[in-house]
């Protein structure tokens, strides 16, 4: 999901460096091969690391964390190498939904890799998901100090500020900077529209949201945000009233068709 840490790229690179498989290989077959090699040579940490990487790619998160922890036992716990493994444990636990384990691993990684923006960036995602918004905000800001043009971080911080009582001028600044960094992202356009809505600038937000819903009428977030923007309008046309009702309904194929027709009429 994120530019902060591309686990697939990291994992495939590590597999290749270990001489196991390639980007073209079926990762499930690679995983089976690694399981057998790691069983035969349990002291080889490179195999354990590659096993953990492959397990993440196949969503075997418990197996991945076990493999990464096995690597940790062979490393100096204060080394950058240990920090890299803690980062991998944190990202894996985040994917699993184990936010407590993810937070603990990423806080440890932050002490060992103070200059790596992936660490506070991933920690920010975990804290955001856990509803710890002030801490998430601090982590996003720490990420931007290390990687000022990171579109994901700029976007997420702008959205957090807009949705959780932050400074809306700052939120707009971050959302615009995110769009400048990644102009093709629909999610970033959505964040920009949300910020405009929160600022009461409906003339700016509604056209963006109409466009987004036209591109992806089944996207629940886009639907909710357009409905919220239209409901703020003091005067709505009959078509807009019908659109609000359609956006709030289940996104069945028939409903999506109705939304598409109403959106076309508004354009």
Q: What is the band of 11 on the pLDDT scale with cuts at 50, 70, 90?
A: low
How far apart (Å, rounded) are the C-alpha atoms in residues 185 and 123? 22
Residue 59 lies in a domain: yes
Residue 170 lies in a domain: no
Residue 64 lies in a domain: yes
Domain count, the chain: 1
In the chain, the percentage of residues whose pLDDT exceeds 90 is: 68
At residue 250, the pLDDT reads 83
Residue 51 lies in a domain: yes
Residue 257 has pLDDT above 90, yes or no: no
The whole-chain average pLDDT of the chain stands at: 89
Residue 209 lies in a domain: no
At residue 251, the pLDDT reads 80
Q: Which domain holds residue 144?
A: 1-148
Residue 222 lies in a domain: no
At residue 24, the pLDDT reads 46
At residue 259, the pLDDT reads 85
CATH number of the CATH domain containing 80: 1.25.40.10
State the Cα angle at 103 between 102 and 109, rounded to 5°: 90
Please answer whether residues 210 and 183 qualify as being in contact, where contact means their C-beta atoms are separated by less than 8 angstroms: no
Q: Can you read off the two tokens belonging to residue 199?
A: 């600022």
Residue 74 lies in a domain: yes
- The pTM of this model reads 0.85
Residue 159 lies in a domain: no
Q: Which tens digit of pLDDT belongs to each residue from 140-172?
A: 999 999 999 999 999 999 999 999 999 999 999
Secondary-structure breakdown of the chain: helix, strand, coil percentages, each rounded to the nearest 5:
75, 0, 25
**DSSP result, 138-153:** HHHHHHHHH-TT-HHH
């Amino acid at each position: 999901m994120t530019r902060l840490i591309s686990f697939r790229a990291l994992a495939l690179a590590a597999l290749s460096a270990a001489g196991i498989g390639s980007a073209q290989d079926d990762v499930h077959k690679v995983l089976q091969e690694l399981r057998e090699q790691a069983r035969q040579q349990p002291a080889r940490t490179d195999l354990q690391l590659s096993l953990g990487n492959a397990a993440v790619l196949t969503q075997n998160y418990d197996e991945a964390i076990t493999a990464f922890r096995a690597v940790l036992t062979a490393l100096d716990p204060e080394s950058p190498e240990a920090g890299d493994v803690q980062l991998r444990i944190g990202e894996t636990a985040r994917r699993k939904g184990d936010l407590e384990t993810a937070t603990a691993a990423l806080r440890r990684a932050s002490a060992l890799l103070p200059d790596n923006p992936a660490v506070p960036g991933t920690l920010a995602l975990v804290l955001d998901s856990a509803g710890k918004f002030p801490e998430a905000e601090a982590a996003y800001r720490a990420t931007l100090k290390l990687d000022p043009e990171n579109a994901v971080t700029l976007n997420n911080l702008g959205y957090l500020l807009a949705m959780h009582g932050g400074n809306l001028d700052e939120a707009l600044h971050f959302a615009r900077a995110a769009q400048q960094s990644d102009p093709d992202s629909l999610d970033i356009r959505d964040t920009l529209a949300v910020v405009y809505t929160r600022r009461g600038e409906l003339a700016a937000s509604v056209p963006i949201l109409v466009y987004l819903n036209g591109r992806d009428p089944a996207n629940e977030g886009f639907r909710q945000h357009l409905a919220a923007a239209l409901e703020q309008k003091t005067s709505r046309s009959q078509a807009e009233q019908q659109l609000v009702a359609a956006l709030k309904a289940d996104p069945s194929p028939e409903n999506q068709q109705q939304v598409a027709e109403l959106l076309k009429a508004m354009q």
